[in-house]
Structure 1
Amino acid sequence: MWLYLVFLLGLWNLLRLFRERQVVSHLQDKHVFITGCDSGFGNLLARQLDRRGMRVLAACLTENGAEELRSKTSDRLETVILDVTKTESVVAATQWVKERVGNRGLWGLVNNAGISISWGPSEWLTKQDYAKVLDVNLLGMIDVTLSMLPLVRKARGRVVNVSSIMGRVSFSGGGPYTISKYGVEAFSDSLRRELSYFGVKVAIIEPGSFKTAMSSSDRLLSNIKMVWDQASSEVKEIYGEDFLASNLAKLKSLDQKCNEDLSLVTDCMEHALTSCHPRTRYSAGWDAKLFYLPMSYLPTFLVDAMVYWISVKPDKAL
């Protein structure tokens, strides 16, 4: 009996591997639009797809980022300046893309642009702290997607949305970032089901802990201190300086464990764009696969207990 089960499991894995290795034809004729290409995942993906011969349309926030990317890629790659928080910028970028893809449509849209700020307990934060992150990570992504969808639908192409493992498991102090990634998950699921009627596939990338410019310890430490400074005197007294110091030390320790191999994420993105049978979700990094992902399937009370015991407690906690 067990031998039959092992055989069926092995056969299923072989069939899955065979399906996932089938590559879309004529990749050199397909356009891919990527947001957030100044650095990190977007920058590496743009260079990776360019080396593969695809026609990359890279959106950068700054001209310096665009120039640096062009200097490292072929003449096929083109750049445009895009601020996803401004609708007029999104409309202009869409028109720019339309002029380049013509009647072929846009094969791939990769929503990678994101920020990681305003970390800390909810009591430290303001509505504006949430708005800043949601404006980029969720509302900006939605604006770009809605604007580009007619082009993607014309090509029967792909939408790849970069979420995070924190879009599955929420930890203390995750703040606006976690909320924005939960929103990305929900929007992507809805979009995938709606667009399946038109042959468009939607994939979600869920990276674990990776070392990027956005997640650098110096930037996060500075941000947490800024959020702490804006908290009321009553909140500071309740949480205490020791709580702040312990969290800063914990953050430094976590930063040292972050994976520096960003290709683990960009390989997932590339597969979602080039495979005939892309996955619905891609968990990138061993921490995502072996810890966060299994944790997301546990009963809520167990997850709550785990988070409680591994978290730093406020000075005046019960």
Structure 2
Amino acid sequence: MMSMLRKLFRYFIPSFIGTYLLWYLLIPVWFNHFCIICFLSIISWTLAYYFYEMLNQETIDPSGKIVLVTGCDSGFGNQIAYRLDQLGFHVYAGVLFPDDDGAQQLRQKCSKRLRILKMDVTKQEEVDNVVEQIKQSGMPLWALVNNAGVAILVPFDWGNDIDVYRKVFDVNIFGVVRVTKSCMPLLRQSKGRIINVASVCDRLTMTWTGHYCMTKHCVRVFSDVIRRETINSGVKVITLEPAMFPTNMTNFERLRRLREKIFDETHEEIRRVYGKNYMQNFNDIYSKLALMEHKSLDLVINAMINGIVLCHPKLYYRCGNYKDLLVFWAISYLPEILLDCLFDKAFTYCTQGKYKKWN
């Protein structure tokens, strides 16, 4: 890897010198004016976008409008259901377990406008049942929040056959497509909103997150597709790209138990390749990464609300602070060879037990 980088750098030097000389030779006044016009056009376009965003903040009236939210048992779904109820929407909160704590808390603190509905996004009959109840209400479906998701963080070859891939794809992408297709006739009627929760992982593929990254990349592509195919329907499609937030999907203890279960189901030959200490090193490294989580879900919840209530929402909301922008989105634009080198170092820390150097 390092030898390849050295060779790449050798090509970089003459390329840089050549392009600089070309620029220097083409420095007449007309070229300077062209560069200035291009530069000012970029700055002006950027300023125009932010002025448009600042000066077009009209909101819609929530009364008599339904918002369907999937995955309300905990995390983003649970909190956005509560906040939307406070704003005056009729919230249809889809949950896996209607009698568990998350659903019970929503019942206790929300108004009668909120309805808890059993909704497994991997089952068409449950999705159809929810859509039918929305139709029978006589109110328009204003927004669909595709929030339900699962995360499994293991190397790509762990598990039995493709069981891990199937489980993650069934919820994170096929569930999103299934619910969106079922709700689309109602959303066309209301000229409403689709809020798809992707992730920073849809742009940056990190070690051990392959299954999750693949599905979130699919969510981003699906959002782009339906936005362009329905551009004349009045339906707006908004994509959220959160960084690391404290939800059940990032719960360290849950992920650890799941990882151990999948490792036990892995073929013995593959387990020998990874060795006995790999799991412990894996868990220790992930516990360090978990320190990058935000303490609150507010950045994501506020972005969801903006996508639902603003007359002119953004197409994408990147939910994070300046550190996230630097660590995740900025490095996602690095050349793949540098990214491979970066993640190779992280992989070495894990497999050789050098994680203590991160302290």
Kept in 1: contact 2:155–2:207 (CA 8 A): yes
**Over residues 45-75 of structure 1, what are the superposed CA-to-partner deviations in whole Å (9 max), with x where a residue is unaligned?**
0111111112211111111243321111112
Q: Which range moves more in the overlay, 75-84 or 302-311?
A: 302-311
Matches within 5 A, 1:117-196: 117=152, 119-125=153-159, 126-196=161-231
State the shift of 1:150 in Å.
0.3
Q: Which range moves more in the overlay, 176-185 or 6-15?
A: 6-15
TM-score scaled to structure 1, two decimals? Answer: 0.91
Q: Which residue is 1:12 aligned to?
A: 48
State the shift of 1:307 in Å.
1.7
State the shift of 1:12 in Å.
2.9
Kept in 2: contact 1:31–1:106 (CA 8 A): yes
Q: Which residue is 1:105 aligned to?
A: 140
Distance change in 2, residues 1:133/1:20 (3 Å): farther
Kept in 2: contact 1:240–1:314 (CA 8 A): no
State the shift of 1:9 in Å.
7.2
Kept in 1: contact 2:193–2:235 (CA 8 A): yes
State the shift of 1:314 in Å.
4.2
**Over residues 117-146 of structure 1, what are the superposed CA-to-partner deviations in whole Å (9 max), with x where a residue is unaligned?**
3x2111213311111111111111111110
Kept in 2: contact 1:19–1:277 (CA 8 A): no
Kept in 2: contact 1:166–1:181 (CA 8 A): yes
Q: Which residue is 1:96 aligned to?
A: 133
Establish whether residue 44 from structure 1 lines up as the match of residue 59 from structure 2: no
TM-score scaled to structure 2, two decimals? Answer: 0.81
Kept in 2: contact 1:38–1:69 (CA 8 A): no
Establish whether residue 73 from structure 1 lines up as the match of residue 110 from structure 2: yes
Q: 2:94 aligns with which of 54, 59, 81?
A: 59
State the shift of 1:8 in Å.
4.1
Distance change in 2, residues 1:10/1:182 (3 Å): closer
Q: 1:297 aligns with which of 333, 337, 340?
A: 333
Mapped to 1, the partners of 2:325 and 2:130 lie a distance apart of 35
Mapped to 2, the partners of 1:12 and 1:309 lie a distance apart of 42
State the shift of 1:253 in Å.
1.5
**Which protein shows a greater Rg?**
2
Write the letter of the residue equivalent to 1:84.
V
Kept in 1: contact 2:71–2:96 (CA 8 A): yes
Write the letter of the residue equivalent to 2:181.
L
Q: 2:122 aligns with which of 76, 85, 88?
A: 85
State the shift of 1:206 in Å.
0.8
SS of aligned partner of 2:219? helix
Mapped to 2, the partners of 1:143 and 1:35 lie a distance apart of 12
Kept in 2: contact 1:221–1:251 (CA 8 A): no
Q: Which residue is 2:149 aligned to?
A: 114
How much identity, in percent, do the aligned residues show? 34
The answer for unaligned runs of 5 or more in structure 2 is 1-35, 353-359
Distance change in 2, residues 1:305/1:92 (3 Å): same
Mapped to 2, the partners of 1:27 and 1:289 lie a distance apart of 33
Kept in 1: contact 2:281–2:351 (CA 8 A): no
Mapped to 1, the partners of 2:227 and 2:42 lie a distance apart of 32
SS of aligned partner of 1:182? helix
Write the letter of the residue equivalent to 1:208.
A
Q: Which residue is 1:310 aligned to?
A: 346
Kept in 2: contact 1:124–1:231 (CA 8 A): yes
Establish whether residue 272 from structure 1 lines up as the match of residue 307 from structure 2: yes
SS of aligned partner of 2:246? coil
Distance change in 2, residues 1:314/1:79 (3 Å): same
Distance change in 2, residues 1:301/1:109 (3 Å): same
Q: Which residue is 1:247 aligned to?
A: 282
Mapped to 2, the partners of 1:39 and 1:187 lie a distance apart of 25
